[in-house]
Amino acid sequence: MSEKEKKEKNGITGTVFDVVSVFATACVAVALAFMFIFRTVGVVGTSMYPTLDTLDRVILTATYGEPKYGDIVVTCQPDNSEVIPDVLVKRIIATEGQTVDIDFEKGVVYVDGEALDEPYTAEPTYDREDFNEPVTVPEGCVFVMGDNRNHSTDSRDNRIGFIREEYIMGRVLFRLAPFGAIENNRVA
């Protein structure tokens, strides 16, 4: 084999090695990101409609900092009911120390006496569930509701109640399937 043929062979081998190396590195980086930074979860049910719908797949942060109003979160708070799914996707309405009240005749949710502006909901909140009077969110907890208020089992239901922050798996970043980013508290 001539010197020129050896250089060409080494050049092709080097190029193939470079491509395989870049591909393998990218695969490892994506795998590590999804192990330590992001998670994917499937939405079950229509309680978050119109923001999210059943069979949507979302990407969420693997760690979650300070909860705040409007965050769409995934929780895994255990309950004793076989009716409630193990994983819930809901919107944070109030955080520790805040008081939630709901006027079911007007369909308006109040936090600390202020009516919430909720353009993301499917309709006003008329379904009472087990909610009977204003409640103050205990320390280390959040009050969550689905965007499809009259078809959502959420913190208004005694089986769910307040969600302990330690059971929040992460905040939804965007919808993976069908693809869409969260814009103005809605997944586009």
Active site residue 90: yes
151 and 92, same domain (yes or no) = yes
Residues 76, 126, single domain; the answer is yes
Residue of 2, 81, 90, 152 marked active site: 90
89 in the same domain as 66: yes
Domain containing 141 — which CATH number? 2.10.109.10
Catalytic residue, chosen from 21, 47, 81, 152, is 47
Quick count: other Cβ atoms within 10 Å of Cβ 50?
14
Same domain, 178 and 88: yes
Q: What is the pLDDT along the chain (188 residues), one digit of tens a residue?
A: 666 655 555 566 667 666 666 666 665 555 555 555 567 888 888 999 999 988 899 988 876 788 999 999 999 877 655 556 678 999 999 999 999 999 999 999 999 999 999 999 989 999 999 999 999 999 999 999 999 999 999 999 988 899 999 999 899 988 887 766 555 444 44
Q: Based on the domain organization, do 32 and 54 belong to the same domain?
A: no
Active site residue 68: no
Print the domain residue range for 13.
1-36
Q: What is the pLDDT of residue 174?
A: 83
pLDDT at 184: 47
Based on the domain organization, do 23 and 50 belong to the same domain? no
Residue 78 and residue 20 in one domain: no
Residue 158 and residue 99 share a domain = yes
Q: How many domains does the chain have?
A: 2
pLDDT of residue 186: 47
Q: What confidence score (pLDDT) does residue 31 get? A: 57
* 21 and 61 together in one domain: no
Task: At 148, give phi and psi (nearest 5°).
Answer: -95, 70
* Residue 106 phi, psi dihedral angles, 5° rounding: -90, -20
As a three-state string, the secondary structure of the chain is: CCHHHHHHHHHHHHHHHHHHHHHHHHHHHHHHHHHHCEEEEECCCCCCCCCCCCCCEEEEECCCCCCCCCCEEEECCCCCCCCCCCCEEEEEEEECCCEEEEECCCCEEEECCEECCCCCCCCCCCCCCCCCCCEECCCCEEEEECCCHHHCCCCCCCCCCCEEHHHEEEEEEEEEECCEEEECCEEC
